[in-house]
A and B are shown apart, each in its own frame.
Chain A
């Protein structure tokens, strides 16, 4: 196993851990709450 593979696997594990922590701390709910409303900034209404 090369050093690059180990780094890649470690970062993937960190990414999955962050996603799980994000779901637990309500981060995914924040994404949902923003995405189901019309984003006034995105469409240029301020």
Chain B
């Protein structure tokens, strides 16, 4: 087997930096208040609740639902443009490198227990996130927008990042007693769902990303066009399937819409056909090592 290289460590460091960068308003954690500066005009590419006390920018999925809710007044150009640009430049590299909730799931999966491996069932379940995208993140906000009622369906009924980063971190702070007094059935539903998802992530690799995340579904639709990501040199590939076997996600081929571009497959390719690229520029992989040889 080829040498593993440094991509896993680099990826973990980038994930940590991204999580810190998204939540750089450290004073917010101490004061139990959210950031209200001008950076909140922008969205970060990954799933990160804007009600997290540390969040310095908006969540793209929350912003999309609110833009759809307000679409009777003005078309959702801004958020759609941002999501399209993120998807075209980075694709699901965002999921693999720049999503704090993805990092949390990966760390939970490191807890030593028996693991559920991918199977035809998990592959079928991975289609659920496209339904959630369509129903909760698009159709419900659009339907209620017709009645002039803003209803971000995914944020309200499902989003575990909002519950963890927003609800838990805000409500635990002593200064937010008034918010705690307002908790009801919806809060307990979301907290139960969060606990279920986090528990599932201990046994199932990135359970939320694979089965439920509408943002990953959206970026997945653009992943074949994305500039940055894991690419396969078709001339070298022998279709041995080693890459698909080692991948913990429900991929059919490297770089397809289920691939979070983590690069785990690069080191197992016997013909060195896989590399991490930005367009034609090789950033990591055997092809780069070969170019460096005299």
A interface with B by C-beta (< 8 Å): 4, 7-8, 11-12, 14-23, 25-32, 34-39, 41-46
B14 near A: Cβ within 8 Å?
no
Neighbouring A residues of B36 by C-beta, 8 Å = 36
**Chain B, interface size: which category?**
35 or more
0 or 1 for each of B130-170: is its CB under 8 Å from A? (1 = yes): 00000000000000000000011001100100110011001
- What are 27 of the A-B contact pairs (CB < 8 Å)? A12-B85, A14-B81, A14-B84, A19-B78, A21-B81, A22-B78, A22-B79, A28-B42, A30-B67, A30-B78, A31-B42, A31-B43, A32-B40, A34-B62, A34-B66, A35-B57, A36-B35, A36-B36, A39-B155, A42-B50, A43-B51, A43-B162, A44-B190, A45-B179, A45-B184, A45-B186, A46-B156
Residue among A26, A32, A35 with the highest chain B CB neighbour number at 10 A: A35
Neighbouring A residues of B191 by C-beta, 8 Å = 44
Dominant SS among interface residues on chain A: helix
B interface with A by C-beta (< 8 Å): 34-36, 38, 40-43, 49-51, 55, 57-59, 62-63, 66-67, 70, 74-82, 84-85, 88-89, 151-152, 155-156, 159, 162-163, 166-167, 170-171, 179, 182-184, 186-191, 225, 227
